[in-house]
Copies of this chain bind each other. A is one copy, B any other.
Amino acid sequence: MSAVDRAARAASDAFATYGWLNGRKKGELLRAIASRLEVTGDAIIAIANQETSLGIPRLKSELARTCNQLRMFAGLVEEGSWVDARIDRGKVDVRSMLRPLGPVAVFGASNFPLAFSVPGGDTASALAAGCPVIVKAHPAHPETSKLTARAISEVVPQGVFALIEGYEAGTELVKHPLVKAVAFTGSRRGGRALMDIAAARREPIPVFAEMGSINPVFILPRALRERGAEIATGLHASVTLGVGQFCTNPGLVIARQANTFIEELATKMAATPCAPMLTSSIAEAYKTGVARFGSIVDRRAFVDGGAALFTTSAATFLDHEELMEEVFGPSTLVVEFDDREQLLEVARRLEGQLTATVHAAEGEIDDYRDLIQILETKVGRIVVNGYPTGVEVAPAMVHGGPYPATSDGRSTSVGTRAIERFTRPIAWQNAPDAALPDELKESNPLGIVRMMVPGLLLAVSSYS
């Protein structure tokens, strides 16, 4: 029996019990994981810094975020209304709620060794849903993975959590019949490979792959005139934040008559010191990407291995699909458009994105409702007069978007809605309390908010 097979069987066995824990019990476990991570925090941060070059302050902040995420999901499952319990005592007694899918495979990201890795949002939301988790460690930070995995394993029941390593083990995991869903953060190539494996299974399973995007920033004419310098400053900070290694890094800027703006941005970009990237292969890929862009469009600033600024016309951009590909790192491309129709055409031609940003002067957005409508079909989040980096971990957040930004634009990997990915609705008809989860029992022993029917909505007549 392989390590993957062992982990999958243990997870499936554990699911019979873990999947039926109520929200209070799961909340306790999630809080215990957070405390455990904090207790071993210094060691985790030290090893993560060795493995990722991200620096102590950023890693401290990331650990805090990771623990906060765990506690956010603890709060969510303790409160309990997220299960969408519905109780219909009509002609027939029908009750339903969201229930966990079963064992979930999580593929950690390179760029967040904690918050999107072993103890990250995917793990936290799957555990909160009631799903055992098997993480495939990212090879960029193996020791950090092991140390954080230990913290989780020490807290949760046997079988509920496991860590595996290696490319082939990852593939075996996605193919394993006992695994019921996959979460992934990484490259489009990697994500699509997992999607294809999962779709070809005898029993296809959902894959939630967050594959990044170029996060276009549209600067409307009046906004550019009124706030061009300020936007250049904000954009520079967003493009170069964390050496440009964020999924929400803005890699495309669309503006008109932007000479002065480009000069300002170029000066800032050229003055940005080089910083080490997460891995040597990421640094190598960044150089290749910058060289590829340089062969098609104008390079306005590029410190070797550091921040890069490119410019081109909308016509050239629309002619070169490869300019829509993400260059993972502190690089951005400013596309100058001639007229409104060209602006809209650039928006129409975009692939799916995590975010789109619009800078607009007071009242200016009223004249660009058509742009907003196009962008809405392309993204998971529309930012107005801000920057896409900085994803609030909160109930209203959406960190998702149409393919290829993610594998399934109907999901988010950040915020409380992330838990829904690992659930499905199940109905009980005419069932006594003994057959029901606590959330649906007649006396509402957990005291959660439930939808009672008939209420606002009336059942219609039944057939078949």
Give the B-binding residues of A (Cβ under 8 A).
Answer: 15-16, 19-20, 61-62, 64-65, 68-69, 71-72, 75-76, 79, 81, 86-88, 90-92, 94-96, 99, 101-102, 112, 115, 195-196, 199-200, 203-204, 206, 241-242, 246-248, 352, 358, 363, 365-366, 369-370, 372-373, 376-377, 379-386, 389-398, 400, 402-404, 407-412, 416-417, 423-432, 434-435, 451, 453, 456-464
In-complex Cβ contact of A434 among B248, B366, B408, B426 (8 A): B366
Q: Distance in Å from the Cβ of A128 to the closest Cβ of chain B?
A: 12
Q: Which residues of B contact A112 (CB under 8 A)?
A: 464
Q: Distance in Å from the Cβ of A82 to the closest Cβ of chain B?
A: 9
Q: Which residues of B contact A16 (CB under 8 A)?
A: 370, 373
Q: A383-B429, A385-B430 are in contact. Are A203 and B403 (CB under 8 A)?
A: yes
Tell me if A's interface is mostly helix, strand, loop or mixed: mixed
CB-based contact A75/B458 at 8 Å: yes
Q: Distance in Å from the Cβ of A96 to the closest Cβ of chain B?
A: 5
CB-based contact B412/A75 at 8 Å: no
CB-based contact B464/A390 at 8 Å: yes
Q: Which residues of B contact A379 (CB under 8 A)?
A: 426
In-complex Cβ contact of A463 among B61, B90, B363, B404 (8 A): B61
Query: 9 new A-B pairs (CB below 8 Å) besides A61-B463, A96-B417?
Result: A72-B457, A96-B397, A115-B463, A115-B464, A196-B199, A366-B434, A391-B463, A400-B425, A411-B424
Q: Which residues of B contact A453 (CB under 8 A)?
A: 394-396
CB-based contact A381/B428 at 8 Å: yes
A-B contact pairs, 14 of them (CB 8 A): A88-B394, A90-B392, A92-B386, A96-B397, A96-B398, A115-B464, A199-B204, A203-B403, A358-B435, A365-B435, A381-B427, A390-B462, A395-B453, A396-B453
CB-based contact B424/A409 at 8 Å: yes
Number of copies: 2
Q: Which residues of B contact A65 (CB under 8 A)?
A: 460-463
CB-based contact B459/A394 at 8 Å: yes
Which B residue sits closest to A457, measured CB to CB?
B395
A402 to B426, alpha carbons, bound, how many Å?
A: 10
In-complex Cβ contact of A403 among B72, B204, B384 (8 A): B204
In-complex Cβ contact of A395 among B352, B384, B451 (8 A): B451
Q: Distance in Å from the Cβ of A117 to the closest Cβ of chain B?
A: 13
CB-based contact A384/B203 at 8 Å: no
Which B residue sits closest to A386, measured CB to CB?
B430
A99 to B366, alpha carbons, bound, how many Å?
A: 20
CB-based contact B400/A68 at 8 Å: no
Q: Which residues of B contact A19 (CB under 8 A)?
A: 373
Q: Distance in Å from the Cβ of A89 to the closest Cβ of chain B?
A: 10
Question: A-B pairs with the 4 shortest C-beta distances?
Answer: A394-B459, A68-B460, A199-B199, A398-B427
CB-based contact A195/B203 at 8 Å: no
CB-based contact B206/A199 at 8 Å: no
CB-based contact A75/B431 at 8 Å: no
Q: Which residues of B contact A79 (CB under 8 A)?
A: 456-457
A377 to B386, alpha carbons, bound, how many Å?
A: 44
In-complex Cβ contact of A430 among B101, B384, B400, B428 (8 A): B384
Q: Which residues of B contact A409 (CB under 8 A)?
A: 101, 424
CB-based contact A68/B461 at 8 Å: yes
A369 to B432, alpha carbons, bound, how many Å?
A: 12
A16 to B460, alpha carbons, bound, how many Å?
A: 31
A241 to B464, alpha carbons, bound, how many Å?
A: 8
Which B residue sits closest to A205, measured CB to CB?
B403
CB-based contact A392/B72 at 8 Å: no
A189 to B429, alpha carbons, bound, how many Å?
A: 29
Q: Which residues of B contact A241 (CB under 8 A)?
A: 464
Q: Which residues of B contact A461 (CB under 8 A)?
A: 61, 64-65, 68, 393
Q: Which residues of B contact A404 (CB under 8 A)?
A: 203
CB-based contact B460/A381 at 8 Å: no
Q: Which residues of B contact A380 (CB under 8 A)?
A: 424-427
A458 to B416, alpha carbons, bound, how many Å?
A: 10
Q: A242-B464, A390-B462, A392-B94 are in contact. Are A426 and B72 (CB under 8 A)?
A: no
Q: Which residues of B contact A412 (CB under 8 A)?
A: 425
A464 to B69, alpha carbons, bound, how many Å?
A: 14
In-complex Cβ contact of A423 among B81, B384, B392, B410 (8 A): B410
